Amino acid sequence: MRFRDRKEAGRLLAQSLKEFANQNQVVVLALPRGGVPVADEIAKSLNVPLDVLPVRKLGVPGQEELAMGAIASGGAGVLNDDVIQNLGISPEVVEEITQQELRELERRERLYRGNRPAPDLTGRTVILADDGLATGSTMQAAVNAVHQQRPARIVVAVPVAAESSCQALNRPDEGLTCVCEMAVEPFYAVGLWYQNFDQTTDAEVREVLNRAWRRNGHRKISDKERTKV
């Protein structure tokens, strides 16, 4: 099975998340950029708010598609010690790449959210959505970031994932579950499971978020709230 595009994948995934429809304490957080079209369809189908949680992979120098870890907004992160040790990557290189990606996270946060405050996740059910899971490093960083805000529950929602990655993120005793339409091995790459896997642009992310914020009737941010962003 291959999804036609991210929107179709999001609509199908929403069917597996129907128990969360129309619940005030539920929020969908997209991992930009590719997770945004998926998350938008989920949020619309469930009639719940949509927001973003920027996450960046820490790519191995010269093999950027290979993750040696990931970081998320708020400073939470995860390192793949096996990759770092097996490739002999020094702590200095890890720190240099981490700082580069932190700057990109900050840029995206400003670009996508502007003056809008990040949502308060305390006591809420948070659905973390992306277009797929390969190693799961970026999603684990997102989970770590959300955990810091003491949510009631975290649901990782992806159309397709490596089976091992989905299993690693399914820990009900910790309030963490993984909902996946397809868990497969061997996995290879997320894009192989889509007919259309064009890159999602920053402009498209902003357009989706602006529509979502209007759809959910977000009020104008007061001057006092702006000082907190």
- Report yes or no: 161 and 114 within 8 Å, Cβ to Cβ: no
Lowest mean pLDDT segment, chosen from 47-51, 123-127, 137-141, 221-225: 221-225
Q: Is 203 exposed, middle or buried (0-12, 13-18, 19+ CB in 10 A)?
A: exposed
Q: What is the mean pLDDT of the chain?
A: 90
Does residue 137 register a pLDDT over 80?
yes
**Which single residue is written with the structure tokens 């005030």?**
24
Query: Which stretches within 114-156 are classed as H helix?
Result: 137-147
Mean pLDDT of 99-123: 90
Mean pLDDT of 112-130: 93
Tokens of 116: 């809008």
What structural domains does the chain harbor?
A: 6-53+119-226 (3.40.50.2020)
> Distance (Å, rounded) from C-alpha 148 to C-alpha 82?
25
Does residue 61 register a pLDDT over 80?
yes
Confidence class of residue 7 from pLDDT cuts 50, 70 and 90?
very high
Digit-coded pLDDT (tens) for 153-170? 999 999 999 999 999 999
Confidence class of residue 223 from pLDDT cuts 50, 70 and 90?
very low
Nearest partner of 41 among 78, 67, 73, 13, judged by Cα: 13
Tell me the residue ranges of DSSP E strands in the chain: 26-30, 50-52, 55-60, 63-72, 77-79, 125-129, 153-162, 176-184
Instruction: Please report the pLDDT score of residue 65 as a whole number.
Output: 77
Mean pLDDT of 119-132: 96
The pTM score is 0.88
Cα–Cα separations (whole angstroms), residue 193 to 24, 32, 67: 33, 18, 20
Digit-coded pLDDT (tens) for 67-104? 899 999 877 889 989 999 999 999 999 999 999 999 99
Provide, rounded to the nearest whole percent, the portion of the chain with pLDDT above 90. Answer: 78
Instruction: Please report the pLDDT score of residue 219 as a whole number.
Output: 38
Confidence class of residue 201 from pLDDT cuts 50, 70 and 90?
very high
